[in-house]
A and B are shown apart, each in its own frame.
Chain A
Amino acid sequence: MSRPLRIVVAKAGLDGHDRGAKVIARALRDAGMEVIYTGLFQSPEQIVQTAIQEDADGIGLSILSGAHMTLFPLVVEQLKAQGAGDIVFFGGGTIPAEDAEELKKAGVREIFTPGAPLQNIIDFVERECGRGRQLVG
């Protein structure tokens, strides 16, 4: 692999719960990836723009405010609108199982809920984002 994976860790909407996002950002960085943390209160448009500008392989979105059924689909929509459908989009937060299923059908690659081991998330990102890289490269 020529360069490390680049991952945008994002917070959207009005949700200030950033503990999980920061832990994930740190864990991915410790696993050797380059991590760009968007900071709080980003719009779906801004998140996708950041990912494109940063040439990111993946976007991880964290939502704990209950707005997941609105904001995840808006990011998927923006990925399509901005021609960035190849970026692996995943997320996490307080998301009930049936909502997670619905989001996966709508184009979110994976949803991690509280208690998900960091290693599972790291493995997922390496596998899925790395695969995207091989197809392109």
Chain B
Amino acid sequence: MIERPSGLGAQTTPAFEEEQRSWAAGSKEGRPRTGPGAGASDRTISDVPLQTVYGPADVEHLDLAGDLSWPGEYPYTRGIHPNGYRDRLWTMRHFAGFGNAKQTNERYHFLLSQGQHGLSVAFDMPTLMGYDSDAPQSRGEVGKCGVAIDSLLDMETLFDGIDMGAITTSMTINGPAAIAVAQYIAAAEKKGISRKLLGGTIQADILKEYIAQKEWIFPPRPHMRVIVDMIEFCTNEMPLWNTISVSGYHIREAGSTAAQELAFTLGDGFAYVEACMAHGMDVDSFAPRLSFFFNAHSDFFEEIAKFRAARRIYAKRMRDKYGAKNPKSWQLRFHTQTAGCSATAQQPENNIVRVAFEALSAVLGGTQSLHTNSMDEVLALPTEKSVEIALRTQQVLAYETNVTNVVDPLGGSYFVEALTDEMERQAEAYFAQVEEYGGVVEAIEAGFFQKEIAEASYRYQRSIESKDRVIVGVNAFQKEDKLDDLELLRITDEMGREQARSVQEIRAKRDGEAVKATLARLQVACRDPKDNVMPHLIDCVNAYCTEGEIVDAMVQVYGRYTERSVF
């Protein structure tokens, strides 16, 4: 008779561990997997090997106080709020933007009227890259995958009729993030709303641009200076503003594994912490307003483990390595978006189901806010109908499934705890590798992240090709699609020409002297590391300098980044 442990975390005997090993390996009694997915998929989607079953011996080393604790308690593995979603649901926030500011403003009014809590601005490619709508580089791109914002006038139109002091806004923009914040402040203040009342966040995560998303402007070092200026300014002037949203989403979309997403994102976050501290800021002055953004991919348990591990790693480092004393500085808060790269163009309605499962993993992982993708985003920008289904998916999850009743319902699961631990172990191994390069910027310059991600995405694609992994409708259960049955949202090139005319009108109407003077002062600030560029950016924006003009002025000082491509 083998002595069995009396509870989770209790000591196990060698005989019991042997019994568990034989179960887990599935070999002693012979339990090979014979059903679907036999073979390679005995691993997570990120290639983490899995056991047949998990048991007490897998979690024996976990320290209940130090590793798990309680929801709302350090190290927050089980969540940052003691009462989970029982006090407050996650924020249902849908990323939206297309065409011009007026069209997007209409969509915002629709979303708010349908019960959405906050806004999330998607900008078009020229805006993200710092080009005006009439620049030659912008041809064919204006308003296509987000809204075109050239000057303050567009930002004013975007929030027309919306009480900027009463909603929160998330802006997904990185290279020109500081300019977008300046425009947001200026637009609010023109309506008489103080910057002190503005709530929301801006992505502003430039490091992941070099790593994955590729929407950079300046080289990494001056870009970091601008970001630190922005964090410092917003920390001091905007008490309700989350200063940066460190993003793993795009790292995952670029093809990384879950562990890479976790490690590279947290690594970026720590790089910002270090940069701000090096600038002389007290860690507890800014850390409580840092937030994160993760992907929810299709491997259900792996994602939950990733979210839980993220909180634990962050809390430990913030307290022990960076010496933060305020518990708010230890708490990792994050937004989640379902994985765009898991959606398929084949049988696109199936994406509704994928999104629902991914959203569930984010909620079981304790996300603070959630964007659920629309089924047609793999083909075009979503239609109003498909956005509505995506929002309803969250509402069904929140109000019908009862998963919000109990905090961290999977805490204590042998498997989830063991996988959470494995995620942490892999992340720590990556941190060590990045340290060998001398830090995140150095590893970027050496192409380390880019190569790791390219390798992972190629392995993943190969596993689909060889059918080690089944993707419904793609390499199994295919049927002839009639894609044209799906109604798609189309942005015409006429819209782009109109926007180009509108930016030219602004240039003709404004005070040219003020434009020159504010841009010149901005350049002086860019050259002076002791100055902060933010007040100068707000001056430029108020003078109706266009985004492209402001970026050009800064490029003259900082230069433009070019990548050494690896594949």
Using a CB–CB distance below 8 Å, which chain A residues touch chain B?
13-19, 21-23, 25-27, 35, 37, 39-41, 65-67, 69-71, 74, 94, 96-98, 113-115, 117-119
Contact = CB atoms under 8 A, between A and B. Distances in A.
Interface residues of B, number: 46
B461 A23 contact: yes
B327 to A, nearest CB: 37
B474 interface: yes
A132 B255 CA distance: 34
Q: List 4 A-B pairs, minimum CB-CB distance, nearest first.
A: A70-B140, A16-B214, A66-B144, A67-B140
B155 to A, nearest CB: 20
B563 A39 contact: yes
Contacts of A69: 140, 493
Nearest to A114: B345
B253 A14 contact: no
A114 B343 CA distance: 9
Interface of B is mostly: loop
B432 interface: no
- Most central of A19, A37, A65, A70 by chain B CB within 10 Å: A19
B457 A23 contact: yes
A69 to B, nearest CB: 7
A74 to B, nearest CB: 8
A98 B474 CA distance: 20
Given A94-B378, A115-B346, A15 B125 contact: yes
B43 to A, nearest CB: 20
Contacts of B457: 19, 22-23
A70 B495 CA distance: 14
Contacts of B346: 115
B493 A70 contact: yes
Contacts of A117: 465, 475
Contacts of B491: 66
Given A40-B214, A40-B563, A66 B465 contact: no
Interface stretch (B21-29, B131-139, B227-235, B278-286): B131-139
A15 B124 CA distance: 10
A117 to B, nearest CB: 6
Contacts of A13: 125, 137, 139-141
A13 B131 CA distance: 12
A94 B377 CA distance: 9
A22 B454 contact: yes
Contacts of B557: none
Contact of A14 (B126, B473, B488): B126
B409 to A, nearest CB: 34
26 contacts: A14-B126, A15-B141, A16-B209, A16-B213, A17-B214, A19-B341, A23-B457, A35-B567, A37-B565, A39-B562, A40-B214, A40-B565, A65-B141, A65-B144, A65-B145, A66-B381, A67-B141, A69-B140, A70-B139, A70-B140, A94-B345, A94-B378, A96-B380, A96-B488, A114-B345, A118-B461
A22 B567 contact: yes
A98 B473 CA distance: 20
B344 interface: yes
B42 interface: no
Contacts of A96: 379-380, 483, 488
Contact of A97 (B209, B475, B484): B484
A21 to B, nearest CB: 8
Contacts of A40: 214, 563, 565
Interface in B543-567: 562-563, 565, 567
Contacts of A21: 567
B62 to A, nearest CB: 36
Given A16-B213, A96-B488, 15 more contacts: A13-B139, A14-B137, A16-B215, A19-B457, A22-B454, A39-B565, A40-B214, A40-B565, A65-B125, A66-B144, A96-B483, A115-B345, A115-B346, A115-B473, A119-B465
Contacts of A17: 214
Given A14-B128, A26-B458, A98-B484, A115 B344 contact: yes
Contact of B474 (A26, A71, A115): A115
A71 B140 CA distance: 7
A97 B481 CA distance: 10
B129 interface: yes
A25 to B, nearest CB: 5
Contacts of A115: 344-346, 471, 473-474
A18 B214 contact: yes
B254 A14 contact: no
